[in-house]
Structure 1
Amino acid sequence: MNTFLQIHPLDNVLVALQDLEQGTQISFEGATISLLQKVPAKHKFLVQPLQPGDAIRMYGVTVGKTLRALSTGELITTENIQHDANAFHEKDSNTQWQAPDISKWQTRTFQGYTRPDGQAGTRNYWLVIPLVFCENRNVQVIKTAFEKGLGFAPEEIYNEQVNDLVNFYKNNNLEAIRNYAPVPPAARPKRHPLFANIDGIKFLSHEGGCGGTRQDAEALCALLAGYIHHPNVAGATILSLGCQHAQVSLLQAALDKLHAQKPLLIFEQQRSQSEFHMLSQAIRDTFLALVEANKLERTPQPLSKLTVGLECGGSDGFSGISANPAVGHASDLLVALGGKSILSEFPELCGVEQELINRCVNSEVAGKFIRLMRTYEAAAKQVGSGFDMNPSPGNIRDGLITDAIKSAGAAKKGGTSPITAVLDYTEYATQPGLNLLCTPGNDVESTSAEVGSGANVVLFTTGLGTPTGNPIAPVIKLATNTRLATRMPDIIDIDTGSIISGQRTIPQVGEDILEWIIRTASGEVQTKAEQLHQDDFIPWKRGVSL
């Protein structure tokens, strides 16, 4: 295994692939570099001396600038460099793309659900949605009734554990409590739901719908409309209080804009004779709708019907050289097959804007990206923040010490294909190819948005271990390193650490990822997030989150 990596020939830093002790001698381009400090795996050290204000380059772009004079072999840290990034401007060139070989997948299909509008689902869910947080309790009542009654509820293993501990305590058996070893969920028998062709009922509780701006209510309704219109959804039950900003009419307008063709059951509490009457009717009508939805069966679908979200969370210094570029290759394969992919998290595209601009298919698409990026960054600065504040403590600890370093690696999830469309938040992906979607870098807000824009599978890379899932789209979790995959097997689906060890190449792992997508889309594989019922959903209040 190599001990270090230069990502791009123009880079003036090397990435440590394993812990390197102080004084370690590194042979690089005919010279010997002596490390001045211990360099932990995933962190970077200099290949040349630099003066104050000089650029730090990774991935061939500027990712920071020095705060003081630095020496060859010195570890870069938040104390000696700060965020800096290349400026960007209008599209000034066209990037030539060489599509990957897709011959082995051209006749492949996945088993999916055909919707009346021509979309194909990878799952078959019914949604229950509150238009305002005042209805969350009523949604919870319906959730408890349906999940327990139909067998969709998570295994109550932790309740059983507490019951066991209570019984030990009642019998004054503290030793049994200390030695208690519960049976893991995988060892328990699976439940069989009543409706064999329905993957579950999902509940999109949230804290919005009223009390914020009217724009917040409009954005929430547009996001919920995307979920209802989503190919993985058979229909929805809507609970409205009646007096909130997020009116039924706003939701209906957003659905009309999408030309949505899904059955809707709408119940407004302030028009009902009682809460009991409303909930009883909602449960009865939803049950009848499930009977109809259960008639749909999986059939062969072309891979061009897949829309894959490209997401990362809990990233580390290996993300940009293992999992992210492997996901990028899988995205390129899917795009070449006529499918769609969605790259989001605009704060994590800082510093690579010009490359993305030049990959846009025309100046109109590029111009929209420029406008959204500049508007977003200006809004962040207006509230005293900025893209430079994006890296989390975990990112920094594991080698992503500036936003531009994080962004240059995060952008690799988008592969190399042309950018065919740029979408504002809640806009739905309709253009085959790579789509850029304006979202925050926040894992759940971004994943929620990608699915709301039509992603029927999500690829989620992580270097630190993040359990993010989604209520209606399977989220495939990819570890950037084998140590993480081994330590957290209950949340990781795919280990891309073989790229770091040199055992496999990025294209090889990317092809494996495409096979995982096909199997997951067909229902042959249930992701770890699905097994854990990790149904994360957070709408974005624009201007608040990064």
Structure 2
Amino acid sequence: MKNKVLQIAPKDNVLVALQDLKIGEEILFNGESYLIQEEIPPKHKFFMQDMQAGDEIFMYGVLVGKTQYFVPKGARMNTDNTKHAAEPFHYRASHYHWTPPDVSKYKDRTFNGYIREDGRVGTANYWLFVPTVFCENRNLDIIKEALYNELGYAVTEKYKSFTHQLVKAYNEHESLSAIENIDLSPTIERKNQRLFKNVDGIKFLNHQGGCGGTRQDAGTLGKLLAAYADHPNVAGITVLSLGCQNLQVADFKQYLTERNPNFNKPLYIFEQQTAKSEEELIKEAILKTFEGLIEINKMERQPASLDKLVIGVKCGGSDGFSGISANPSVGYTSDLVTALGGKILLAEFPELCGAEQNLIDRTVNKDSAEKFIHLMRTYNKAAENVGSGFYMNPSPGNIKDGLITDAIKSTGAAKKGGTSPVVDVLDYTEPATKPGLNLVCTPGNDVEATTGKTASGATLILFTTGLGTPTGNPICPVIKVSTNNALAQRMSDIIDINTGSVIDGDKTIEQMGEDILEYCIKAASGEVIPKAVLLNQDDFIPWKRGVSL
């Protein structure tokens, strides 16, 4: 650790503690002395000057809060003395100039992906099961158990074995203590167990929608399911329908055609109310899917240029280091991908609160900027109408680890998108079609955001975390990026990349950003498998467009 504290931007009037600071400790920074007034743990901030009630607090060079009463120099920022505040935002003509990073060393690099007929490139090759209504979830579960176990995609054998040994010990009146500490490490690589070597998985989109809600909810769900069916990581689809639900099969097919008029993947549809029996429905669905798996197993990875990468950037379980290490490192990766002609998807609109003006000024055309303004204001207003608002976004875990206001959390979160111009603004489920940085309207909620980002076309997701979260996605590999060393060591079973060396001063943001891109290239090629994929962490929550932060 080279420094005890950090000032993120010259305009800031708080310093970030990079390690424990003791009460009475004297901190020297840029020729100024600061007497620490109370214990300050890493990730938290202290004031650089005496603050009066109503004084503005700046971090990342922008307004992030206001003090509620007098706070002395060297005192810790907390939820009592600081409340959320952010600058108003509006459209203004801007001539944003961006200097792309040097990407000459990546000029001839490729990744090995699945090239689809329309030119898009998948980073994986999945078969997808889609229920048009929650009534079919049980049938999906039965099919999943049958296919996962027989085709080599299950990851629960070690836990079944563990439970079996517990039952055996109980029946034989033996102690359970010896079994408690047995090694659960799998003995055989999952890929070696697969019947279909070129099929990365069979995925199931269980959900609670399709009927019983509003017709608008059913329509949004239909567009979401169509987006997943059309996704470049998906090679074939089996649809299960009850028959009488709001989301009719005809509607789903219409949304699919609207999204891609040339859609031509294998698509098998089964409707229970017209089937002879449930047993016949399940048998026929398994049989046709098996035939489809035989066909898509003939597909092989081929070299594709890096401009075919579509990377979503997300943060969850964020901490006070997120905006200092992992997020700006991912942001540099974003700039590299953008400079190479790829697409970056930045979502989580409640976590862009306070960063709006910067993003508006970077947006390449007025229509897109005004669309962003409209989506942000409408979304926040909906939250306020039920007694909430974007300012209530930080979770207890966020606050405990130094993210005191939503503007602090948001301005750090926005760093994931890098510094390139915003080429487009997409509403929920709208596809990304323009190379460069795209803003996608989703909640901040981890699973709702990754679900929506995948619908817009992300074929990999970089997910930064300071506290640890196992979130994944059924069809888009999610790569976990730790903000700090302690988390990477404590939750090594879910973390893929550690940016703690940025906090230690051992690596620069740029060096770490290049490391992350190298990992993405390997993950896109199937050479490394992200932990969330290995664990079958297939999280899927459709957004009903209600209030979700």
Amino acid at match of 2:448: E
> Which residue in the other structure is 1:248 paired with?
249
- Structure-1 separation of matches of 2:493 and 2:186: 10
Displacement after TM superposition at 1:116 (Å): 1.3
Instruction: Indicate conservation of the 8 Å contact 2:158/2:186, yes or no.
Output: no
Answer yes or no: is the 8 Å Cα contact 1:168–1:177 preserved in 2.
no
Q: The residue matched to 1:262 in structure 2 has which SS?
A: coil
- State the partner residue of 2:33: 32
Question: Equivalent of 1:283, from 286, 295, 316?
Answer: 286
Q: Tell me which amino acid in the other structure corresponds to 2:255.
A: A
1:178 to partner: Cα distance: 5.0
* Per-residue deviation, 1:185: 2.5
3-state SS, counterpart of residue 277 of structure 1: helix
Which residue matches 1:162? 163
Identify which range, 178-187 or 208-217, moves more after superposition: 178-187
SS for the counterpart of 2:203 is strand
Matched with 2:82 is 81
SS of equivalent to 1:227: helix
Matched letter for residue 315 of structure 2: C
SS in 1 for 2:304: strand
User: Which residue of 318, 322, 327 maps to 2:321?
Assistant: 318
Q: Does 2:172 match 1:171?
A: yes
For 2:140, the equivalent position in structure 1 comes to: 139
Listed as ranges, the matches of 1:87-486 within 5 Å are 87-174=88-175, 176-177=176-177, 180-190=180-190, 191-259=192-260, 260-486=263-489
1:94 positional shift: 2.2
What displacement does 1:179 show?
5.8
Whether the 8 Å contact between 2:44 and 2:402 is mirrored in structure 1 is yes
Please give the alpha-carbon distance, in whole angstroms, between the structure 2 residues aligned to 1:262 and 1:84: 49
Give the match for residue 22 of structure 1: 23
Which range moves more in the overlay, 440-449 or 146-155? 146-155
Residues 44 and 75, structure 1, Cα contact 8 Å, conserved in 2? yes
Greater than 4 Å deviation, 4+ residue runs: 186-189
Distance 2:435 2:72 in 1: 48
How much does 1:102 deviate?
0.2
- 1:130/1:204 contact within 8 Å kept: yes
Q: What is aligned with 1:13?
A: 14
| Unaligned stretches of 5+ residues in structure 1 | none
Shift of residue 163 of structure 1? Answer: 1.2
SS at match of 1:236: strand
1:55 aligned partner, one-letter code = E
C-alpha distance in 1, partners of 2:170/2:520? 47
Q: Which amino acid aligns with 1:52?
A: A
**1:314 and 1:395 in contact (8 A); partners too:** yes
Give the distance between the partners of 2:431 and 2:452, measured in 1 at CA.
Answer: 10
Q: Which of residues 492, 501, 508 in structure 2 aligns to 1:505?
A: 508
Residue 193 of structure 2 aligns to a residue in which SS?
A: coil
Q: CA deviation at 1:370?
A: 0.5
Q: CA deviation at 1:441?
A: 0.4
CA contact (8 A) 1:155 1:185 kept: no
Aligned residue identity for 1:333: L
Q: Find 1:536's aligned residue among 509, 515, 539.
A: 539
Q: Deviations for 1:150-205, whole angstroms, at most 9, x for unmatched residues?
A: 1111141111111111212222222x535632223255554421111111110010
Q: CA deviation at 1:482?
A: 0.6
Q: Secondary structure at the match of 2:240?
A: strand
2:538 partner letter: D
For 2:13 and 2:187, locate their aligned partners in 1 and report how far apart those are by CA, in whole Å.
51
Q: Report the more deviating stretch, 269-278 or 345-354.
A: 269-278
The CA deviation at 1:262 is 2.1
User: Matched residues in 1 for 2:188 and 2:69: separation?
Assistant: 59
TM-score (norm 2): 0.98
Corresponding residue number in structure 2 for 1:494: 497
Q: Give me the whole-angstrom Cα distance separating, in 2, the residues matched to 1:59 and 1:186.
A: 45
Partners of 1:36 and 1:173 in 2: CA distance = 57
Aligned equivalents of 1:182, 1:143: Cα separation in 2: 28
Deviations 1:255-295 (A, max 9, x none): 11211332211111111121111111111111111111111
d(CA) in 2 for partners of 1:545, 1:502: 37
Q: Is the 8 A contact 2:51 2:70 kept in 1?
A: yes
AA aligned to 1:464 is L
Q: CA deviation at 1:382?
A: 1.1
Aligned mates of 1:92, 1:5 — CA distance in 2 = 33
C-alpha displacement of 1:35 = 0.6
CA drift at 1:92: 3.0
Paired residues, number: 545
CA contact (8 A) 1:111 1:301 kept: yes
Alpha-carbon displacement from aligned partner over 1:430-471 (angstroms, at most 9, x marks no partner): 111000000000001000111111100000000001011111
Contact 2:5–2:17 under 8 Å retained in 1? yes
Q: Distance in 2 between matches of 1:389 and 1:541?
A: 20
Q: 2-side partners of 1:220 and 1:529: how far apart?
A: 24
What is the identity, as a one-letter code, of the residue corresponding to 2:208? E
State the alpha-carbon separation in 2 of the partners of residues 494 and 66 from structure 1: 36
Are residues 355 and 189 of structure 1, via their aligned partners in 2, closer, same or farther at CA, if it must alter by over 3 Å? closer
Shift of 1:128: 0.5
Q: Deviations over 1:88-144 (max 9, x none)?
A: 001332221000000010110000001111110100000011111000001111111
C-alpha root-mean-square deviation of aligned residues, in Å? Answer: 1.1
In the alignment, what sits opposite 2:5?
4
